[in-house]
Amino acid sequence: MSKIKKCLFPAAGYGTRFLPATKAIPKEMLPVLTKPLLQYGVEEAIEAGLETMAIVTGRGKRSIEDHFDVSYELEHQIKGTAKENYLKEIRSVISSCTFSYTRQVEMKGLGHAILTGETLIGKEPFGVVLADDLCDSENDGVLKQMTKLYEKYKCCVVAVEEIPAEDSNKYGVIAGDVINDAQYDTEALVRVNDMVEKPEPEDAPSNLAIIGRYILTPDIFDVLRKTKPGKGGEIQITDALLEMAKIGKVIAYKFNGTRFDCGSVDGFVEATNYFYEKSTK
Ligand code: UTP
pLDDT digit string, tens, across residues 201-219: 999 999 999 999 999 999 9
Cα separation, 64 vs 38, whole angstroms: 8
Q: Does residue 27's CB lie within 6 angstroms of at least one atom of ligand 1?
A: yes
The model's pTM: 0.96
Q: For 132-140, what is the mean pLDDT? A: 96
CB of 113 closer than 6 angstroms to any ligand 1 atom: yes
Residue nearest to atom 15 of ligand 1 (CA): 130
- β-strands 172-178, 189-197: how paired? antiparallel
d(CA 41, CA 25): 17
- For the stretch 66-86, pLDDT in tens is 999 998 899 899 999 999 989
What does residue 21 show for φ and ψ, rounded to 5 degrees? Answer: -55, -35
Answer yes or no: is 175 within a domain.
yes
The reply to whether 190 falls in a domain is: yes
Length of the chain: 281
Cβ of residue 125 lying under 6 Å from some atom of ligand 1: no
pLDDT per residue as tens digits for the range 145-179: 999 999 999 999 999 999 999 999 999 999 999 99
pLDDT at 1 over 90: no
Average pLDDT over the chain, rounded to whole?
A: 95
CA 110 to ligand 1 center in whole angstroms: 6
- Residue-by-residue DSSP string for 233-277: GS--HHHHHHHHHHTT-EEEEE-SSEEEETTSHHHHHHHHHHHHH
Count of structural domains within the chain? 1
* Res. 224 pLDDT band, cuts 50 70 90: very high
User: Residue 262's closest CA among 36, 44, 10?
Assistant: 36
| Residue 247 predicted with pLDDT over 70 | yes
We report the CATH number of the domain holding residue 166 as 3.90.550.10
Question: Does the pLDDT of residue 231 top 80, yes or no?
Answer: yes
**Percent of the chain residues past pLDDT 70, beyond the cut:** 100
Q: What is the dihedral sign for C-alpha 264, 267, 270, 274?
A: negative
Asked if the structure places residue 105 within a domain, the reply is: yes
d(Cα 190, Cα 173) in Å, to the nearest integer?
Answer: 12
Angle, CA 149 vertex, CA 161 and CA 130 arms, to 5°: 50
Q: Is residue 1 part of a domain?
A: no
pLDDT reported for residue 146: 98
Is the shortest distance between the CB of 17 and ligand 1 below 6 Å?
Answer: yes
- In a domain, residue 250? The reply is yes
For residue 75, CA distances in Å to 24, 63, 78, 87, 201 come to 25, 17, 6, 9, 52
Which structural domain, as residue segments, surrounds residue 49? 6-279
- In short, whether 231's Cβ falls inside 6 Å of ligand 1 is no
- E strand or H helix at 61, and its extent? none
Q: Is 10 in the pocket of ligand 1 (CB under 6 A)?
A: yes
Secondary element (H or E) of residue 27: none
- Residue 165: per-residue pLDDT: 94
Q: What pLDDT, on a 0 to 100 scale, did the predictor assign at position 142? A: 98
CA-based angle 64:116:56, to the nearest 5? 10
